[in-house]
Amino acid sequence: MEDKVLRKLFLGFIHIHILHHAKEHSIYGVWMVNELKEHGYNISSGTLYPILHSMEYDGLLQKEERNITGKIRKYYTTTDKGDAILVEAWKKAYELFQEIK
């Protein structure tokens, strides 16, 4: 049960990580999986790609397909809506962390 609760909480953190990095520069799936691993999130590509697709569908990310050595790679950056959501998430997280420290 504890594992399930943590997974739900961490899923929100993962969304925030994605928005943060996609705002800084274009990201792609494998890079994001490795970046998340550096922060202790053990997420597979099979979990990440549906998250990226849903964030694109929700208007938070925009996708650009690039041909990299004959292979199409999908790069994601934030939209204006994604930027606004990231700012709001930062405010809420800051408020929460100030309260629970």
Q: What domains sit in the chain, N to C, each tagged with a CATH number?
A: 2-100 (1.10.10.10)
pLDDT of residue 1: 52
The amino acid sitting at 88 is E
pTM of the complete model:
0.89
Q: Please give the structure tokens belonging to residue 98.
A: 């100030």
Measured CA to CA, the distance from residue 20 to residue 15 in angstroms comes to 9
Whether residue 2 is predicted with pLDDT greater than 70 in this model: the reply is no
**Residue range 5-52, pLDDT digits in tens:** 888 888 999 999 999 999 999 999 999 999 999 999 989 999 999 999
**Residue range 39-69, pLDDT digits in tens:** 999 899 999 999 999 999 999 999 999 998 9
Whole-Å CA distances, 18 to 8, 62, 100: 16, 12, 24
Measured CA to CA, the distance from residue 96 to residue 44 in angstroms comes to 29
Whether residue 3 is predicted with pLDDT greater than 90 in this model: the reply is no
Partners of 75 in the β-ladder = 64
Measured CA to CA, the distance from residue 89 to residue 85 in angstroms comes to 6
